Amino acid sequence: MTWRRKDLLGTRELDAAEIRDVLDTADSMKEIAARDIKKVPTLRGKTVVNLFYEASTRTRTSFEIAGKWLSADVINFSASGSSAEKGESFLDTALNIEAMSPDVVVVRHGASGAPALLARHLKCAVVNAGDGAHEHPTQALLDLQTIRQKKGHLEGLSVAIVGDVAHSRVARSNIHAMRTMGMTVTVAGPPTLIPPACQELGVKVSHRLEEAIGHADVIMMLRLQKERMHSGLIPSLREYSRVWGLGLEKLRACRADVLIMHPGPVNRGVEIAPEVADGPYSVILDQVANGVAVRMAVLYLLAGSRPA
Ligand code: CP
């Protein structure tokens, strides 16, 4: 085991051994989901606080399930309904939560860098559950775990990440992690949705969907992140879907063993057709299931693998 970190803030900082450490630990946790009684004592007596300032279905639920299956006490905090609505600052809120002695704070926030700010001020472990358009490390780790399960390895695989790359923390975390694991990444989308400095991250850029996906082992479709767009970056949803949406027709030209991934939430009929999202190449719900195992692994490595 190589894990030495207090926090998990991004995949950019992780080396290949650390990523393998999380994935191997997650593999060993996965069988808990198949038990009648889904409970192990690993984090008994530990407290995990989910501090969410943005909406979430998958991440928050899976961190809660992960903590509970490991016997931690899990507390869910939403900014809405809290004293943040009375003007309490993010840092003051976090310092007040810390005064109640949690072992791990899992934070999602609309501002890039918010988890790093907490990591500097809090003595407990901090996990980034998505910060603005910056990083979403546990999503990338569960994506890698899903690919490794399905393909048997990571190195040498070719991945196409398609859509709104500019606003996607999932794309950024996956690019860092996939490059570290020896994978080839092509990002594809309209020029307005691909960051100008993207090539500096070591990826290929394509502005033609068919070119990007034709030989890919894995295709990851992204949602249009309208909540982070400040102006109209696409002509219309119908036009975007026609050119960049993945339907059955475009899928026919792909590899016979291609994996179709999507981090969710899916906008059916926009970036992906329902027949593709629900079809035989899709591993979208495997990603969600692996989210619990990966988050159990992360909580264990941060709070359970060191002496109290
Ligand atoms: N993929 C993901 O982060 O989904 P949620 O926003 O539902 O957590």
Where b means 16+ CB within 10 Å and e means fewer, 228-258 reads: eeeeebbeeeeebbeebbbeeebbeebeeeb
- At residue 307, the 3 state secondary structure works out as coil
Atom in ligand 1 nearest the alpha carbon of residue 54: 6
Supply the pLDDT for residue 306: 63
CA distances from 3 to 12, 20, 25, 100, 104 (A): 15, 10, 11, 26, 16
Centre of ligand 1 to C-alpha 307, Å, is 32
Q: Which residues contact 150 (CB under 8 A, 6 or more apart)?
A: 259, 283, 286
Ligand 1 binding site (Cβ under 6 Å of any ligand atom) = 56-59, 130, 136, 139, 263-265
pLDDT tens track for 194-241: 998 888 999 999 999 999 999 999 999 999 977 766 667 777 889 999
- At residue 78, the 3 state secondary structure works out as strand
Contact (Cβ atoms closer than 8 angstroms) between residue 149 and residue 114 = no
Centre of ligand 1 to C-alpha 130, Å, is 8
Of all protein residues, the one whose alpha carbon is nearest to atom 5 of ligand 1 is: 56
- The Cα–Cα gap between 287 and 145 comes to 8
Centre of ligand 1 to C-alpha 45, Å, is 28
Contact (Cβ atoms closer than 8 angstroms) between residue 300 and residue 41 = no
Centre of ligand 1 to C-alpha 122, Å, is 25
Q: Is 184 left (phi over 0), alpha (psi -120 to 50) or beta?
A: beta
Supply the pLDDT for residue 167: 93
- The Cα–Cα gap between 53 and 13 comes to 24
Phi, psi of 291 (to 5 degrees): -60, -35
Supply the pLDDT for residue 27: 97
The residue behind tokens 């100008």 is 196
Ligand 1 pocket test, candidate residues 54, 57, 292, most atoms within 8 A of CB: 57
Supply the pLDDT for residue 302: 98
Q: What is the dihedral angle through the alpha carbons of 86, 88, 89, 92, rounded to the nearest 10 degrees?
A: -160
pLDDT tens track for 138-155: 999 999 999 999 999 999
Contact (Cβ atoms closer than 8 angstroms) between residue 292 and residue 64 = no
Task: For residue 213, give the nearest of 173, 181, 243 by alpha carbon.
Answer: 243
DSSP result, 248-267: HHHHTTS-TT-EEE--S---
The ranges of the chain with pLDDT < 70 are 1, 228-231, 306-308
